[in-house]
């Protein structure tokens, strides 16, 4: 575990405070005046703080353990304890990201929390550190938990400048967003023993998949946040154009979708990625006979994954043109992608009129403006297929007319 945590003093630690990352570093000795990083600014005098980082060698078991650990800690920690997401990484070093939690215990709860952490550390691939405050409250130090209290190696906690890239960006490719069917299948295959449904999902993949074959008829994807009017528009376009209507994830996966929505991002996004490849095969079959309309496709999978992995303001997203926005080389590219945009209040009104939130992420869209703006911006940054924004606020019929004009202009239908 310590090997994975090597180069201590080159690591940055990130703790989520109010939906955005706050950073600090550690140094073997203090240079200059102590300045406690703002992560500790709200910590009371008698409080104790701990960090708990998952250091598993296997990413599927590590991600699942990290995912389940939050509920476990929330159940076990005494009331009033603080629990925040945390990560540690070496700036710009891919593969250096470790995910975990930052705990803050009220005075008097420390022994209970320390029993929980000792038990966790003895039986799981986790690295636990504890933080102590100097008498004057100005200086914090960090030490490894497993060391005996009598000779702990203490590191001075120091403020860290904001790294160029959000820590999640280091780990995104083929973990949050998948760029080949093989990569997505590899993750699901590793889950076969723990999630039996993965065998059924993989069984839905055709034996031979030529997702890149150029379709005979135009393929138009309709994208947008929940309740922007995708279902209404796609069904009207199907009728107006005599087209086939498909969706992603495809109908054949609907029985298992709820099961994978409960999994950590690594497994969940692999599920949606495989869904896109199955939809791509269905598109190939149908587009030899008629135009095809698709309700959500790779834009949704990538945009929601990127916007979920990154926290804080839009500026934390990977920069425009970054590799993470590129279309997978083995996935069919549509003729046209129409992104429905809608004022947030109108979208909420339509959502209320229709009801039924589908996934936690859709719920998140409504009470987390930061998340919503990250999703919308990630949609716009995806390159590969011409993606044209269409204002979805007019009446359903007017939106349909506008969409038909776009399709006729771009797809010569």
Residues near ligand ADP, by CB under 6 A: 224, 226-232, 350, 353-354, 392, 395-396, 399
Residue 147 corresponds to which tokens in the numbers above? 């060391």
Contacted entry of ligand YYY, ligand ADP, none for residue 399, CB cut-off 5 to 8 Å set by kind? ligand ADP
Contacted entry of ligand ADP, ligand YYY, none for residue 353, CB cut-off 5 to 8 Å set by kind? ligand ADP
What pairs with residue 177 in β-bridges? 173
Is residue 14 a contact point for ligand YYY (CB under 6 A)? no
H or E element at residue 361: helix 360-367
C-beta of 374: minimal distance to ligand ADP in Å? Answer: 18
C-beta of 224: minimal distance to ligand ADP in Å? Answer: 6
What pairs with residue 13 in β-bridges? 24, 88
Which residue, 229 or 328, has its beta carbon nearer to ligand ADP?
A: 229
315 within 8 A of 377, measured Cβ to Cβ: no
Q: Which residues contact 339 (CB under 8 A, 6 or more apart)?
A: 223, 224, 299, 379, 380, 387, 388, 389, 390
Contacted entry of ligand YYY, ligand ADP, none for residue 395, CB cut-off 5 to 8 Å set by kind? ligand ADP
Which residue, 63 or 226, has its beta carbon nearer to ligand ADP?
A: 226
Q: Which residue is nearest to ligand YYY (CB)?
A: 358
C-beta of 375: minimal distance to ligand ADP in Å? Answer: 13
H or E element at residue 64: helix 59-76
Comparing CA positions, the residue from 24, 29, 27 lying closest to residue 86 is 24
Helix, strand, or coil (residue 332): coil
H or E element at residue 405: helix 396-411
Which residue, 88 or 175, has its beta carbon nearer to ligand YYY?
A: 175
Which residue, 257 or 350, has its beta carbon nearer to ligand ADP?
A: 350
d(CA 29, CA 154): 9
Contacted entry of ligand YYY, ligand ADP, none for residue 133, CB cut-off 5 to 8 Å set by kind? none
d(CA 129, CA 147): 9
Out of 47, 176, 226, 286, which residue is the one contacting ligand YYY (CB under 6 A)? 226
Q: ∠ CA(291), CA(183), CA(283), 5° rounding?
A: 10
Contacted entry of ligand ADP, ligand YYY, none for residue 223, CB cut-off 5 to 8 Å set by kind? none
Is residue 371 a contact point for ligand YYY (CB under 6 A)? no
d(CA 246, CA 343): 26
Is residue 165 a contact point for ligand YYY (CB under 6 A)? no
H runs (alpha helix) in 78-196: 110-123, 181-190
What pairs with residue 221 in β-bridges? 294, 337
Helix, strand, or coil (residue 148): coil
d(CA 29, CA 46): 24
Is residue 362 a contact point for ligand YYY (CB under 6 A)? yes
Is residue 330 a contact point for ligand YYY (CB under 6 A)? no
C-beta of 360: minimal distance to ligand YYY in Å? Answer: 7
Token pair 């006729």 in the structure block, residue: 408
Pairing of strands 126-133, 82-89: unpaired
Which residue, 106 or 348, has its beta carbon nearer to ligand YYY?
A: 348
Specify the DSSP class assigned to residue 193.
T
Positions 278 through 307 that interact with ligand YYY (CB under 6 A): 296-297, 300-301, 304
Which residue, 124 or 341, has its beta carbon nearer to ligand ADP?
A: 341
Which residue, 375 or 392, has its beta carbon nearer to ligand ADP?
A: 392
2 within 8 A of 126, measured Cβ to Cβ: no
Contacted entry of ligand ADP, ligand YYY, none for residue 190, CB cut-off 5 to 8 Å set by kind? none
Which residue, 132 or 231, has its beta carbon nearer to ligand ADP?
A: 231
Which residue, 91 or 249, has its beta carbon nearer to ligand YYY?
A: 249
Residues of this chain that bind ligand YYY (CB under 6 A): 226, 230, 248-249, 272, 276, 296-297, 300-301, 304, 358-359, 361-362
């Amino acid at each position: 575990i310590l090997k994975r945590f090597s180069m201590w003093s080159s690591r940055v630690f990130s703790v989520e405070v109010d939906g955005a990352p706050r950073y600090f570093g550690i140094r073997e000795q203090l240079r200059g005046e102590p300045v406690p990083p703002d992560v500790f600014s709200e910590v009371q005098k008698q409080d104790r703080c701990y960090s708990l980082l998952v250091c598993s060698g296997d990413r599927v078991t590590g991600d699942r353990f990290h995912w389940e650990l939050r509920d476990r800690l929330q159940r076990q920690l005494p009331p009033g304890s603080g629990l925040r997401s945390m990560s540690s990484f070496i700036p710009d070093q891919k593969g250096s990201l470790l995910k975990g939690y930052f705990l803050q215990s009220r005075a008097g709860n420390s022994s209970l929390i320390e029993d929980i952490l000792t038990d966790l550390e003895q039986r799981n691939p986790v690295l636990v550190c504890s933080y102590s405050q100097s008498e004057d409250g100005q200086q914090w130090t960090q030490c490894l938990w497993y060391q005996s209290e009598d000779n702990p190696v203490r590191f001075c906690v120091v403020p860290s400048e904001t790294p160029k890239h959000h820590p999640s960006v280091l780990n995104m490719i083929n973990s949050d967003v998948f760029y080949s069917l093989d990569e997505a299948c590899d993750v699901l295959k590793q889950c076969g023993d723990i999630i039996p449904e993965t065998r059924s999902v993989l069984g839905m993949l055709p034996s031979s998949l030529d997702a890149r074959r150029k379709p005979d008829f135009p393929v138009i994807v309709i994208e947008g946040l929940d309740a922007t009017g995708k279902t209404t528009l796609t069904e009207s376009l199907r009728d107006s154009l005599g087209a086939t209507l498909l969706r992603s994830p495809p109908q054949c996966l609907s029985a298992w979708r709820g099961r994978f929505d409960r999994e950590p991002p690594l497994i969940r996004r692999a599920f949606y990625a495989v869904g896109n490849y199955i939809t791509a095969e269905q598109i190939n079959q149908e587009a030899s006979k008629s135009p095809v309309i698709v309700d959500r496709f790779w834009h949704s999978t990538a945009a929601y994954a990127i916007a979920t992995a990154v926290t804080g303001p839009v500026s934390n997203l990977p920069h425009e043109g970054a590799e993470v926005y590129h279309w997978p080389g083995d996935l069919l590219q549509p003729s046209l992608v129409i992104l429905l945009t809608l004022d947030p209040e109108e979208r909420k009104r339509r959502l209320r009129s229709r009801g039924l939130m589908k996934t936690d992420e859709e719920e998140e869209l409504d009470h987390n403006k930061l998340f919503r703006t990250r999703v919308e911006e990630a949609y716009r940054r995806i390159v590969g297929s011409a993606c044209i924004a269409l204002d979805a606020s007019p009446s359903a019929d007017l939106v349909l007319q506008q969409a038909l004009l776009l399709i006729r202009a771009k797809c010569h239908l």
